[in-house]
Amino acid sequence: MRLFYSVLLLSALLIACGGKDEGENQKQDGQDSTVTAGGAVAEPPAQMQDTLPESSPSTSSQAATPPTTPAQPEPAPVASQPATAPANLAGSKPNILLIVSDDTGVGDLGPYGGGEGRGMPTPNIDRMAAEGMTFFSFYAQPSCTPGRAAIQTGRIPNRSGMTTVAFQGQGGGLPKAEWTLASVLKKAGYETYFTGKWHLGESDYALPNAQGYDFMEHAFLYHANAYTYGDPTWFPDMDPKLRAMFDKVTKGSLSGKAGEPAKQDWKVNGQYVNTPEKGVVGLPFLDDYIEKSGIKFLEQAAKNKGTPFFININFMKNHQPNMPAPEFKHKSMSKSKYADAVVELDTRMGRVMDKLRELGLDQNTLVFYTVDNGAWQDVFPDAGYTPFRGTKGTVREGGNRVPAIAVWPGKIPANMRNHDIVGGLDLMATFASVAGIKLPVNDRAGQPIYFDSYDMSPVLAGTGKSARTSWFYFTEDELTPGAARVGNYKAVFNLRGDDGAHTGGLSVDTNLGWKGAEKYVATVPQVFDLWQDPQERYDLFMNNFTERTWTMVTISQAIEGLMKTYLQYPPRKLQSESYSGPITITEYQRFQWLRDQLEKDGVKIPMPTGN
């Protein structure tokens, strides 16, 4: 049975398992699982290497019984969380400051070859890299909402149902039953604060102050360009009735304490206006409010140094339309709007870091900076730059590999460069580890839960490597991955954006993401060696000189291990859906057959074919 057929079969797994509906998501919190220090759990991916068959799969053309892979152990509820953090981090229970920017490209920042070399100096981010650890194989998700959901929950987005971009007026959002970084750290006695872009739904139960954050100030629920939809100067041809609808349903800046209804501070538009007293503030000024809220949170937390804090600051820059605040216009070397916006982001991050040092909090604070998704090449030049193939919205490296820097004086060695496979998913297990707690085994409604999170604390301490050896790439509602990386090899099944063009030594001809055609491989994937070919130009799967068909043994096993977790931990109902093209009558009639096959045969990926 070809691999693609198995992927098609698994696409109906959500139906067979019965994804949780919205009513279940909104149930009153059930029993919270006990969260205690210690307790190690095994992680399936690391065991894949030990279960490989001793002989190679047969390449004979004659009929034969296909080889099978050994049975995998039942999935543990956490991918990887050691019993204790490394000795120099154990019991430290540091303050945690998480800074996330929007759509910023790997190639924009100084530590990654950008900065001054691209006409947009980033001295404050450069300093963070010099004082801490910079990650070069750090992964996000390919768009805003999934990327932020993965960071907050430590779970691949299809588990929470947060698989695609949330738009205004849709309602819903992050299910009430999900754990977040804040709700887990609350169990460890942390005070928790949120400001900036949330983009995880509009319903009251989905807002930060209902998801574990004690204080929420100036939270924004959408991508930046969403605030221009109701603005007649942007879209004069829009039907007035549609504009009125956008004005009505689009929420502005939201603030509120946990347990209290959120209040709207003011509306947001796409103009250079800063009139909160009149009830409206324009996009160019939002990051000023976010910066000030972050600094206020630090000052508030400094008054109670006996209580650790978790502060999550989420800047709106650098999502299009990039409209730098007036004081940053033409402040970059290149004088472009995007470059000015990067300089603004760097400056505001620098002010937050300066305040942390001024308050004497820096020595006991783990600072982590990253981005929600890869650069959005569809809208270039009002977008970040990536040296990798693809863009936001695709499973290519350009849509998923993002900047990440960690700083913790005296704990994280200075000026370190790390190339382990890690990502935003891993912040959950990492923060829990340094806080001295174990992740829950049940969700907030009392149902079993699985975290796709690996503890990075040995990496941060410089005492070991990440236990993660694989990464799975998803777009929108994919249940099984559109691409998978194991070690340095990556298999690509979803060819969105460039139709899987064989580029060889040529540059990639297109950077289309969501605007590109949806296309999957027929039988065999493309395979790339990301060490030798990080730009994914040379497909090695069946190249006569460098053929790498055998890589699908380990990659298929990794995918199979992931798929098995869905049986014990079924995904939730999708929280945001839109029409993406016709469903054929054949597909409709195939659903019942797929259910029957899953029930009869279970989940199985055969060995690779194609020779």
Mean per-residue pLDDT for 94-108?
97
In this prediction, residue 19 has a pLDDT band, given cuts at 50, 70 and 90, of: very low
pLDDT tens digits, one per residue of 445-488: 999 999 999 999 999 999 999 999 999 999 987 899 999 999 99
**What pLDDT score does 77 carry?**
65
Q: Is the pLDDT of residue 323 over 80?
A: yes
Higher pLDDT, 439 or 16: 439
pLDDT at 11: 43
pLDDT of residue 579: 63
Share of the chain above pLDDT 70, in %: 78
Q: What tokens were used for 157?
A: 């987005």
**Cα–Cα distance, 409 to 414 (Å, whole number):** 8
Catalytic positions = 144, 199
Tell me, what's the pLDDT at 543? 79
Which of 326-335, 514-523, 567-576 is predicted least confidently?
Answer: 514-523
Window from 54-58, 101-105, 265-269, 442-446 with minimum mean pLDDT: 54-58
Q: How many CB atoms lie within 10 A of CB 27?
A: 15
Q: For position 476, what pLDDT does the model report?
A: 85
pLDDT at 28 over 50: no
**Per-residue model confidence (pLDDT) at position 4:** 40
Helix, strand, coil % in the chain, rounded to nearest 5: 30, 15, 50
**Mean pLDDT score, 313-330:** 97
pLDDT for the residue numbered 511? 62
In terms of pLDDT, which residue wins out, 126 or 26?
126
User: 56-82, pLDDT tens digit by residue?
Assistant: 333 333 333 333 334 444 455 666 565
Complete DSSP assignment for 185-245: HHHTT-EEEEEEE--SBSSGGGSGGGTT-SEEEEEE-S-GGGGGTT-TTT-TTS-HHHHHH
* Averaged pLDDT, 84-90: 73
Q: What is the mean pLDDT of residues 389-403?
A: 93
What is the pLDDT confidence band of residue 522, given thresholds at 50, 70 and 90? confident
pLDDT at residue 263, as a whole number: 98
Burial (0-12, 13-18, 19+ Cβ within 10 Å), 207: buried
Of 406 and 378, the structure prediction assigns the larger pLDDT to 406
> For residue 584, with 0-12 CB atoms within 10 Å meaning exposed, 13-18 middle and 19 or more buried, which class applies?
exposed
Residue 178 has pLDDT above 50, yes or no: yes
Angle of the 337-358 helix axis to the 286-302 helix axis, nearest 10: 10
Q: What local confidence, expressed as pLDDT, does residue 380 receive? A: 85
Question: If DSSP codes are grouped into helix, strand and coil, which group holds residue 514?
Answer: coil
Selected residue with higher pLDDT from 149 and 16 = 149
The pLDDT of 115-130, averaged and rounded, is 98
Give the tens place of pLDDT for each residue, 362-393: 999 999 999 999 999 888 889 999 999 988 99
Residue 507: pLDDT band (50, 70, 90) is: low
C-alpha 26/C-alpha 22 separation (Å) is 6
Residue 236: pLDDT band (50, 70, 90) is very high
Domains of the chain (ranges, CATH numbers): 3-32+474-601 (3.30.1120.10), 95-468 (3.40.720.10)
pLDDT at 144 over 70: yes
Average pLDDT, the chain: 84
Q: What tens digit of pLDDT does each residue of 484-501 get?
A: 999 999 999 999 888 777
Is residue 538 over pLDDT 50? yes
The answer, yes or no, to whether residue 202 has pLDDT greater than 60, is yes
Q: How confident is the model at residue 305 (pLDDT cuts 50, 70, 90)?
A: confident
pLDDT, tens digit, 9 for 90 and up, residues 547-585: 888 999 999 999 999 999 998 898 998 876 666 666 677
Sheet holding 526-529, edge to edge: 470-473, 483-486, 489-492, 526-529
pLDDT for 509: 52
Q: Examine residue 570 and say whether the peptide bond preceding it is cis (omega within 30 degrees of 0).
A: no
**Residue 18: its pLDDT value, please?**
42
